[in-house]
Structure 1
Amino acid sequence: MKKTAEKVTIIGAGPGGLATAIALRKQGIDAHVYEKARDLRPVGAGLGLMPNGLRCLDAIQPSILNTLKNSGCQLQKTTLKTISGETIRTNESTTMAKYGQPTVTIWWWRLQQILASFLPPDVIHLNHRCIDFEQNENNVVTYFENGKTAQADLLIGADGANSVVRQKLIGDGEPQYLGSMSWRAVLDYKEELLPPDEAIIMKGEKSLFFIFNLGEGNMNWIAQKVLSEASFSSTPAETKSRVFKEYANWNELVQKVIEVTNAERILETPICQRLPLKQWSYGRVTLLGDAAHLMPPSSGQGTNTTFEDAYELAECLGNCPDLETALSTYDKRRIQRTAIIQTRSAKEEEFQNWLYDYDPKSESRLKPWQETVTV
């Protein structure tokens, strides 16, 4: 069967873009990744990989999973505490027993490194900031800030929350601020601060503080506070000072992890989302991951659903008779599921089962949640 796409341009060398390139190249498609950064530096914060995301990575390339599990941390328990440090309850992790895969926490940069190692070096093109694209019935040409261009049969926008591809394709403006600011940082693991396989969550009236291990000598903290307007610090030192001030009356553990954190590594970001779209694919261009379905971090599904996207898009391109059918099928398989995840709470047990039981090799993965969602 003739390939639906011989050559594919992917914008963004985050986990979604890299996983998609791996999946497409296994289908015999010449996929190339273009990234605006000049190098793949140790940036980003920690994230959680859930059973549905891990299964999709396993289906894309089984050896990725073993590397991830050896590099990251497999969480065994989560402890909820008050801001003074008193334990409210401890919950043992049940994901391995219930869904056959653990919850793995890992540094975003380490995940990026691992995925990049499964691609030939000449497939990832750094210092390529996408500024525009043009498509016709024969191809799509992507334009970069450095003056270079890339011609392909398909363009995939995997370029995150502020996707250039999405703005050129759909033009729906900035993400929607959800009324909370977030501060996140990775630091060297201090064993006396945190048990290796435990996550600690502390909740205040309008804020929380979350600490967990990432494996390989790293740990991560996330602070989140309800603020009516998004506001930003002007320097790293000011950012660190701001977090200290916001959490001044919290317990010693919180004070200590902020104190030992390098100010340059604190990420200050507004928590945002986008409303579900009716369509991701137009002509020879489609979207994937945060560019398609930006979710708040409370869902814990941003990266995991991105890996679902990567698997399904590669399957559609590998098994459909033409590009139009492939992209239409991709939209049908992904839009309803991600819209449901964007608009529901992952704390409901039946919903959680539907979410985590996602098996990329089973036809049942295409069954929708029991309630109909209009998108």
Structure 2
Amino acid sequence: MNYIILHDMVRYSGYCAWRGVFDFSGKESSDTMTSIRRAYPELGNCLYFDLAYKTHAVLYELPRSRLNWLWYINGPEPELAGNSVTMEATDAMVGRMRNEAERVWCPELARLVRETAAPFVNVIYDADPLPRLSWTGGRVVLVGDAAHPTTPHGLRSTNMSVMDACTLGQCLANWNSEPTPARALAEYEAVRLPVVAEQVLHARQLGRLKQGLPVDGEAEDGFDVTTAKAEVLQLRQTTMPFFDGAPAAVGGDFPLVGSTR
């Protein structure tokens, strides 16, 4: 169903992400980790976003002594083999990427990138919001990434999927006396569709801003981090629609318009 509904609707974002996981087990006192913690003193308590001209990077700590980094790079859509959005990088690609990191990023981050084994590439896609989330009289329903493919910049993809499942379960419970799930799925759609539509479009805009790509109504050159005013650079994640919570059909208190329950 994901393929049937979304195959022709998935949209290339205009950029890919180099990704890597640096394992520092037993290396906490190494020069690399000492310098990275000096440059990013709140690692383990937050996510760091580094902005440069038409690019940005993300750095954060994972459990079990690992650091995760992503570096978004603008470019034409690459050819992918099969349905995976992950590309294996050749040695030549990795070498060029590491050399470019030395030019773009601070020495501490560039060193981390250079010392990370087996970096790889994710091609970034999303899709315009769907007009609905259920079909065929309530016999088909979409949840999670199948319902709302999104770029990662809103940090909500997993949360969106969890909320889909929670809301769908509550809607089914609300309407469990019905002979078919049609009304439950209609309620699920009424609750979730406005939320996920706004979040997908906000994540898209945030990614394009950070990558210096034009957004609707802006100049062709797009956002330039090197000339932007300080207040414009405060690209807070809390601007995400429904960041502090989204409506849910809990306890039957979100009835459909016109419902006779």
TM-score (norm 1): 0.47
| Equivalent residues of 1:280, 1:287 under 8 A apart | yes
Q: What's the CA shift for 1:325?
A: 1.4
| Equivalent residues of 1:187, 1:262 under 8 A apart | yes
Describe the shift of the 1:257–1:366 C-alpha distance in structure 2 as closer, same or farther (beyond 3 A). farther
Distance 2:241 2:199 in 1: 12
Counterpart among 263, 269, 273 of residue 122 in structure 2: 269
Q: What's the CA shift for 1:349?
A: 9.0
Q: Which residue of 2 aligns with 1:300?
A: 155
**Aligned: 1:248 with 2:102:** yes
- In structure 2, runs of 5+ residues without a counterpart are 38-42, 80-86, 207-234, 256-261
Distance 1:361 1:286 in 2: 16
Q: Which residue of 2 aligns with 1:203?
A: 51
Sequence identity (%)? 21
| Equivalent residues of 1:180, 1:226 under 8 A apart | yes
Describe the shift of the 1:207–1:282 C-alpha distance in structure 2 as closer, same or farther (beyond 3 A). same
Q: Which residue of 2 aligns with 1:356?
A: 244
Partner SS for 1:271 = strand
TM-score (norm 2): 0.65
Deviations 1:263-309 (A, max 9, x none): 1xx33122221001111222322211111111111111111111110
Letter in 2 for 1:256: R
Report 1:72-91 matches (<5 A): none
Distance 2:133 2:241 in 1: 26
Distance 2:45 2:58 in 1: 14
Describe the shift of the 1:312–1:238 C-alpha distance in structure 2 as closer, same or farther (beyond 3 A). farther
Q: Which residue of 2 aligns with 1:260?
A: 115
Partner SS for 1:354 = coil
Q: Which residue of 1 aligns with 2:226?
A: none
| Equivalent residues of 2:126, 2:151 under 8 A apart | yes
Counterpart among 61, 78, 81 of residue 231 in structure 1: 78
**Aligned: 1:325 with 2:183:** yes
Distance 2:107 2:129 in 1: 41
Distance 2:186 2:46 in 1: 42
Q: Which residue of 1 aligns with 2:67?
A: 219
Letter in 2 for 1:274: A
Distance 2:55 2:167 in 1: 37
Counterpart among 144, 161, 166 of residue 311 in structure 1: 166
Distance 1:234 1:215 in 2: 25
Report 1:38-53 matches (<5 A): none
| Equivalent residues of 2:19, 2:121 under 8 A apart | yes
Describe the shift of the 1:341–1:217 C-alpha distance in structure 2 as closer, same or farther (beyond 3 A). same
Q: Which residue of 2 aligns with 1:279?
A: 132
**Aligned: 1:337 with 2:195:** yes
Q: Which residue of 1 aligns with 2:83?
A: none
Distance 2:254 2:91 in 1: 48
Which structure has more strand as a fraction of its residues?
A: 1
| Equivalent residues of 2:101, 2:113 under 8 A apart | no
Describe the shift of the 1:270–1:340 C-alpha distance in structure 2 as closer, same or farther (beyond 3 A). same
Q: Which residue of 2 aligns with 1:178?
A: 13
Partner SS for 1:293 = coil
Describe the shift of the 1:255–1:182 C-alpha distance in structure 2 as closer, same or farther (beyond 3 A). same
Distance 1:289 1:175 in 2: 15
Letter in 2 for 1:230: E
| Equivalent residues of 2:248, 2:254 under 8 A apart | no
Deviations 1:158-181 (A, max 9, x none): xxxxxxx2223x255151112111
Report 1:82-161 matches (<5 A): none
| Equivalent residues of 1:239, 1:268 under 8 A apart | no
Describe the shift of the 1:359–1:286 C-alpha distance in structure 2 as closer, same or farther (beyond 3 A). closer
| Equivalent residues of 2:17, 2:70 under 8 A apart | yes
Over the aligned positions, Cα root-mean-square deviation in angstroms equals: 3.1
Describe the shift of the 1:349–1:204 C-alpha distance in structure 2 as closer, same or farther (beyond 3 A). closer
Letter in 2 for 1:183: W
Describe the shift of the 1:354–1:231 C-alpha distance in structure 2 as closer, same or farther (beyond 3 A). closer
Q: What's the CA shift for 1:245?
A: 3.3
